[in-house]
Chain A
Amino acid sequence: MSAKMLMKGNEAIAESAIRAGCQAYFGYPITPQTEVLEYMSRRMPQLGRVFLQAESELAAVNMLYGAACAGVRAMTSTSSPGFSLMQEGISYIACSMVPAVVVNVMRGGPGLGNIQPAQADYSQMTKGGGHGDYKVLTLAPSTIQELVDHVGLAFDLADKYRQIVFVIADGMLGQMMEPVELPEMRELRSPPAWALTGAKGRPKNIITSLYLNAPELEKINQQLQAVFRRIEADEVRYETYLLDDADIAIVAYGTAARIARTAIRRAREAGIRVGLFRPITVYPFPYEALGEVAGRVQEMLVVEMSAGQMLEDVRIATCCQVPIRFFGKMGGIVPLPEDILAEIEAITQGKPALVAREGA
């Protein structure tokens, strides 16, 4: 028997958080991520940690805020409509500069939409989402192993920058099972010096997102922007696959990227030189690396389970150096490798794009 175990994505999120030292989890059930709560409700009390089913996502995110202020590692998870409800609290957390982790297992939208996999919260997650000037470091796993690794990494990055960190997943990653190797259980970290732990015998700490004095708030904004510049300089992550000799570069993240990978293997068997550029952080987006790729391929194909949200970042990265096509599925439809292969073949035959909107 291999050391790897088979885990459902949602359960892997929960166990990984526990092993990373998550001391408090707050959540509200919503498909397709409810197994995270289910798993946490069983495991967290066993370990003497906090599991709390909130009365709504608004409550959950504010509980997360409170736990983060108290200096414990804390997480919530949700799916698209619930994630929208959390935006106000996320903005407060960002301004307050406390570490926290939020996992969004995206589903079809807009509105209540449906419960099938989608990637249509990209803009909301990478461009701010709530009010005010902030951005959130967002990790985009493509396999269950990466989901495990990213949840652990999210806690570390949240601590490193004293900021909230997102993991962007979707219903397919949440529901599917794949082999994973889990990390060792880590020691719980003690509350940092800035945390609200009771001020007896020390000067009081104040954590707030309210600054009525404009110059003071400007200064906070400048501090935040400095953090985002550091994140943009140091935390860009991406992966390439069969890209070195490629004429066509597919750009995709998460679930769309792994489906593209199958299409690429089949296209390669047919002699088409196509490769993959996969952003692993979608904020910070790998603009520079993708811009370099644009200089050496003939065409790019952006594949998303949305109307074309990351497409805008690809356009910024490539500065119109190369024609860009877009292939997207919306509303909870997961593209098949055959769909992407057909699009690749259309490129090689000089045919117009098959689906969705035109490229650059």
Chain B
Amino acid sequence: MHEEVIISGFGGQGALFAGQLLTYAGLAEGRHVSWIPSYGPEMRGGTAHCTVIISDEPIGSPIIYRPTSCIVLNPPSFEKYEPLVKPGGYLIVNSSLVRQKSARTDITVVEVPANDLAYEIGNVRVANLVLLGALLGINPFVKLESVIQALEEHVPEQRPAYH
């Protein structure tokens, strides 16, 4: 098993945190894992992404160019990563914000109105996790239970209201 995931969105949408949950879940399942954020002279509202690798092999480069799975939370992320998903891979699109359509036929594209669904659940901030759930629904390289466990262990105590 070797999965290379990029999660990308505006700063504040929780791309980095969703990636961390995935990484914790992979670790709990005994895999080799790495997580690396984009970092630079960042600003609020700018684009942020992270790369997560979950593998049965020790991880060499934590940075990859073409993900096997990708979650895009906003339009700039769609533009950047839609062409880069590896053939046979998965692209999960936050269709609440992304109006573009993918023309690719060599990957599985799943459109999820994540902001709307998150709003219905009662907290628009969990759109990132709605999308993570969608990815793991179609490509279950870690168990959903492991992510839920990671969520319970790693959400800071002052912010317990994630569901």
- The interface of chain A, by Cβ under 8 A from chain B, is 1-2, 4, 6, 31-32, 114-116, 171-172, 175-179, 258-263, 265, 334, 336-338
Contact = CB atoms under 8 A, between A and B. Distances in A.
Contacts of A32: 39
B33 A334 contact: no
A186 to B, nearest CB: 26
A336 B28 contact: no
B61 A259 contact: yes
A338 B40 contact: no
**Ranked 6 nearest A-B pairs via Cβ:** A262-B60, A261-B60, A176-B36, A177-B35, A259-B61, A262-B61
B23 interface: yes
B34 A336 contact: no
Interface residues of B, number: 25
A178 B39 contact: no
B144 interface: no
Between B27, B59, B60, B149, the greatest number of chain A beta carbons within 10 A of the residue's beta carbon is seen for B60
Nearest to B51: A176
Of B23, B36, B40, which is in contact with the most chain A CB atoms at under 10 Å from its CB? B36
Nearest to A31: B39
Interface string B54-80: 000111111111000000000000000
Contacts, number: 69
B28 A258 contact: no
* SS of A interface (majority): mixed
Contact of B61 (A4, A31, A116, A337): A337
Given A115-B39, A177-B20, A179-B33, A336 B62 contact: no
Interface string B1-43: 0000000000000000000100110011010111111011100
A6 B23 CA distance: 8
B40 A115 contact: yes
A82 B27 CA distance: 35
Given A177-B20, A259-B61, A261-B60, A1 B28 contact: yes
Given A177-B34, A259-B60, A2 B39 contact: no
23 contacts: A4-B27, A6-B20, A6-B23, A6-B27, A32-B39, A171-B39, A175-B36, A177-B20, A177-B23, A177-B34, A177-B35, A178-B33, A178-B59, A178-B62, A258-B60, A259-B60, A259-B63, A261-B58, A262-B59, A263-B60, A265-B57, A336-B61, A336-B64
